[in-house]
Chains A and B, each alone.
Chain A
Amino acid sequence: MTDDFGRPERTGFHYSEQDVQREVTELEGRSATAARIFDLRRIIGGLFVVYGIIVTITGITDSQAEIDKAQGININLWTGIGMLLLGVFFLVWLWLRPTPPPVPPAEEAE
């Protein structure tokens, strides 16, 4: 066990709500996630467009045996189109509402 060096606000065994508030607020000020994290919509959009294209092409080229296995439905075609639409939806959303610029850090930030 080490002592509470550098954190004089903690006295004895009591760790109060003010301690948590102060510690987390200070960390929030220095946090980099909001400024540097990439936009997930681009990844979902990209992956589903790629999957959509692969599965749709599979559906177009499927033989009758595959369609029979899937109860007479060309499931690859329909699933592929669905995934493609979802991917396009995310990309359009990203295009219409681009990532907002990062909020300037609070004044107590380093």
Chain B
Amino acid sequence: MLNYWVQNPTNAPYSPTYLAAGLRLPTNGLDYTILAIYFVVVLGIGFAARRSVKTSLDFFLSGRSLPAWITGLAFISANLAATEILGMAANSAQYGAYTVHWYWIGAIPAMVFLGLVMMPFYYGSKVRSVPEMLLLRFDRAAHLLSSILFAFAAILIAGVNLYALAIVVEALLGWPQWVAIVVAGAFVLAYITLGGLSSAIYNEVLQFFVILAALIPLSVLGLKKVGGWDGLVDKLTATHGHNFTTAWGGTGIGSANPLGANWLTIVLGLGFVLSFGYWTTNFAEVQRALSAKNLSAAQRTPLIAAYPKIFIVFLVMIPGLVAAALVPNIGTAKSGLQYNDAIPYLMSQLLPNGVLGIAVTGLLAAFMAGMAANVSSFNTVFTTDIWAKYVVKGREDGYYVRFGRLITAIGVCASVGTAFLASSFSNIMSYLQTLFSFFNVPMFVVFIVGMFWKRASAKSGFWGLLAGTVTAMVNYFVLYKKDIIAIPSDQGANFVSAIAGFVAGAVVMVIVSLFTAPKPEAELAGLVYGTSSPGMAEAPAPGDEAWYRRPALLGWGAVVLAALCYIPFSF
């Protein structure tokens, strides 16, 4: 079980495992036609978006001009990569209804916080990336450290997405792994190099609808097969016990459950630290909001995304639970199926040609979108934060567009390299991902302390970031892996590591701030809570006063809805 590990919302340390043989789908020419149409449209979007790229801002942030519904759906789609879809279905087959925590408490509050509290600072200060925000609030050391770590993590995760795609495609369609890696890499390379972030975002929105068209029929047929929701619950209660279909059953402190976490570590570790770290400071997500056309649209980006996020859990959890009900020993050698196989297994059992083609297209699209989100955030950070600020400074804007295209190509080639590396060292890759997953948490501490405490000094950012990262890693790799402290599962250990990293980062920031000079008040305008910058005073666009576009209403509505969703799963 150590090898198999999926986890969200820290950009899914997902170790792709070989899918069981015998999952080969009965695809035919019709399914391949549907797939081919999609690939043509993807490329078409790239070519058509090309003429909109004139400045570096167009290439890296779509000129800050997209409407909220597009950035909002891209925001959810960048997260709804195939590793997340297969992984969360696997999570449900393994742990049951606990999966809802990754959505309702592990995503919604953080997304609402990003939209209502943080976005005015991000968007209003006109920064082009998350590390650039650290440069303004703290200093170059914090900026460089976060930029380099982010760039490495993005390439690594893009590579893992590619590798996961290759395994799935090999199992389902019978293509050799290298063919899938090269073909998918080439398409992503083509459309991002041509159209920049706009074509990445447009393709993400398209992918969102295709994946819904794949998952909805699958969930409906799955439920029908096990006799509806009641039949599903009865079957699972008989084989897995009552707690398997509840959200909180067995999470009392001291009681054992398969997740290895109690309600406190779920709320603090997953719901607060990990989820806020991922949703509010992961640039692959935040970038989508920064490309919105005005502050109101930027604020609404994560809020619009929150509503589909509340309900998508059913589309990944139901197939996972159905697979667990149909194959009670899934995940063991006896069944020949792994948890990751839940969705492919149901696809092969239930979908006729036609919808099957849509489902295959949706999965491939989701893999490519997951990779593209990482590549398009990598090229932005590498160009505007590393290259333009430390290496080749002060060149004309056209130079940075050309460099952005070049680094996109290099980034995709590096991801292809990581994908091939992953195929020979998949264990090491999952370790590396875990390592980087700890990076979001300290980043969040540094943001939150810097944003709410104006005394936090310029130097405290770097040291807080470093201390938080090291503490989370020591807790996980030394204390947990060497059995110095007893935590029953990887998931549980991850929650505890996140909390430890958060506390250590905050403590170090306070100590360093007390011994170093504060930043002058004038340099903090628009960066610390309670101050404002010129960009935040922007007048709302016509029509933005409509009640359904008010960020506060949208945000609190999502929180209330998520809380209500817990009720049927709490008893």
Name A residues whose Cβ lies closer than 8 Å to a Cβ of B. 1-7, 10, 13, 15-17, 20-21, 24-25, 27-28, 30-38, 40, 43-44, 47-48, 50-51, 54-55, 58-59, 62, 66-67, 69-73, 75-76, 78-80, 82-83, 86
**Among the listed B125, B202, B221, which residue makes an inter-chain contact with A75, where contact means beta carbons less than 8 Å apart?**
B221
B34 at the interface (CB under 8 A from A): yes
Q: Across the interface, do B198 and A37 meet the contact criterion of CB distance under 8 Å?
A: yes
Which of B105-113, B392-400, B446-454, B474-482 forms part of the interface with chain A?
Answer: B392-400
- Chain B proximity of A7: nearest CB distance (Å): 5
Q: Across the interface, do B125 and A47 meet the contact criterion of CB distance under 8 Å?
A: no
Q: Which residues of A contact B38 (CB under 8 A)?
A: 47
Q: Which residues of B contact A7 (CB under 8 A)?
A: 393-394
> In the assembly, what is the distance between CA of A47 and CA of B206, in Å?
9
Q: Across the interface, do A71 and B225 meet the contact criterion of CB distance under 8 Å?
A: yes
Q: Across the interface, do B390 and A21 meet the contact criterion of CB distance under 8 Å?
A: no
Known: A15-B136, A21-B534, A44-B209. A3 touches B394 (CB 8 A): yes
- Chain B proximity of A43: nearest CB distance (Å): 6
B267 at the interface (CB under 8 A from A): no
Known: A3-B394, A4-B394. A34 touches B293 (CB 8 A): yes
**Among the listed A43, A66, A71, A83, which residue makes an inter-chain contact with B221, where contact means beta carbons less than 8 Å apart?**
A71
Q: Which residues of A contact B55 (CB under 8 A)?
A: 27, 30-32
Q: Which residues of B contact A36 (CB under 8 A)?
A: 51-52, 54
B132 at the interface (CB under 8 A from A): yes
A40-B70, A55-B358 known; 6 new pairs, CB 8 Å cut-off, are A16-B523, A24-B126, A28-B63, A51-B358, A69-B350, A83-B358
Q: Which residues of B contact A66 (CB under 8 A)?
A: 352-353
Main secondary structure of the interface of B (DSSP, over half): helix
Known: A6-B394, A38-B48, A58-B30. A20 touches B132 (CB 8 A): yes
B213 at the interface (CB under 8 A from A): yes
Q: Across the interface, do A48 and B355 meet the contact criterion of CB distance under 8 Å?
A: no
Chain A proximity mask over B362-396: 1 for CB below 8 Å, otherwise 0: 00000000000000000000000000011111111
B351 at the interface (CB under 8 A from A): yes
Q: Which residues of B contact A58 (CB under 8 A)?
A: 30, 353-354
- Chain B proximity of A84: nearest CB distance (Å): 11
> In the assembly, what is the distance between CA of A31 and CA of B55, in Å?
6
Q: Across the interface, do B352 and A76 meet the contact criterion of CB distance under 8 Å?
A: yes
12 residue pairs bridging A and B, Cβ less than 8 Å apart: A6-B394, A10-B394, A17-B526, A34-B293, A37-B65, A44-B205, A44-B206, A75-B221, A75-B351, A76-B354, A79-B355, A79-B358
Q: Across the interface, do A3 and B49 meet the contact criterion of CB distance under 8 Å?
A: no
> In the assembly, what is the distance between CA of A30 and CA of B392, in Å?
22
- Chain B proximity of A105: nearest CB distance (Å): 11
Report the interface size for chain B: residues with CB under 8 A from the other chain.
69
Chain A proximity mask over B122-138: 1 for CB below 8 Å, otherwise 0: 00011110001001100
Name B residues whose Cβ lies closer than 8 Å to a Cβ of A. 30, 33-34, 37-38, 41, 44-45, 48-49, 51-58, 62-66, 70, 125-128, 132, 135-136, 140, 198, 202, 205-206, 209, 213, 216-217, 220-221, 224-225, 293, 349-355, 358, 389-397, 523, 525-527, 533-535
Q: Which residues of A contact B58 (CB under 8 A)?
A: 31-33
Q: Across the interface, do A75 and B352 meet the contact criterion of CB distance under 8 Å?
A: yes
Q: Across the interface, do A31 and B57 meet the contact criterion of CB distance under 8 Å?
A: yes
> In the assembly, what is the distance between CA of A55 and CA of B397, in Å?
47
**Among the listed B63, B140, B350, which residue makes an inter-chain contact with A71, where contact means beta carbons less than 8 Å apart?**
B350
Shortest beta-carbon contacts, A-B, top 3: A33-B63, A31-B63, A32-B54
Q: Across the interface, do B213 and A79 meet the contact criterion of CB distance under 8 Å?
A: yes
**Among the listed A3, A13, A15, A54, which residue makes an inter-chain contact with B34, where contact means beta carbons less than 8 Å apart?**
A54
Q: Across the interface, do B65 and A20 meet the contact criterion of CB distance under 8 Å?
A: no
Q: Which residues of A contact B352 (CB under 8 A)?
A: 62, 66-67, 69-70, 75-76
Most buried by A among B38, B55, B66: B55
Q: Which residues of B contact A3 (CB under 8 A)?
A: 393-394
Q: Which residues of A contact B44 (CB under 8 A)?
A: 43
**Among the listed A15, A43, A70, which residue makes an inter-chain contact with B351, where contact means beta carbons less than 8 Å apart?**
A70
Q: Across the interface, do A47 and B37 meet the contact criterion of CB distance under 8 Å?
A: yes
Q: Across the interface, do B527 and A71 meet the contact criterion of CB distance under 8 Å?
A: no
Q: Which residues of B contact A67 (CB under 8 A)?
A: 352
> In the assembly, what is the distance between CA of A5 and CA of B527, in Å?
28
**Among the listed B49, B65, B209, B221, which residue makes an inter-chain contact with A34, where contact means beta carbons less than 8 Å apart?**
B65
> In the assembly, what is the distance between CA of A33 and CA of B63, in Å?
6
Q: Across the interface, do A27 and B527 meet the contact criterion of CB distance under 8 Å?
A: no
| Chain A, Cβ-Cβ closest to B199 | A37
Q: Which residues of A contact B198 (CB under 8 A)?
A: 33, 37
Known: A15-B389, A43-B41, A43-B206. A27 touches B394 (CB 8 A): no
> In the assembly, what is the distance between CA of A43 and CA of B38, in Å?
11
Q: Across the interface, do B353 and A31 meet the contact criterion of CB distance under 8 Å?
A: no
> In the assembly, what is the distance between CA of A34 and CA of B355, in Å?
36
Q: Across the interface, do B224 and A54 meet the contact criterion of CB distance under 8 Å?
A: no
| Chain B, Cβ-Cβ closest to A38 | B48
Known: A5-B394, A33-B63, A47-B206. A17 touches B350 (CB 8 A): no
Known: A2-B393, A4-B393, A28-B63. A59 touches B37 (CB 8 A): no
- Chain A proximity of B397: nearest CB distance (Å): 7
> In the assembly, what is the distance between CA of A62 and CA of B358, in Å?
16
- Chain B proximity of A55: nearest CB distance (Å): 5
- Chain A proximity of B506: nearest CB distance (Å): 24
> In the assembly, what is the distance between CA of A59 and CA of B392, in Å?
58
Q: Which residues of B contact A10 (CB under 8 A)?
A: 394
Q: Which residues of B contact A1 (CB under 8 A)?
A: 390-391, 393
Known: A17-B136, A73-B220. A59 touches B354 (CB 8 A): yes
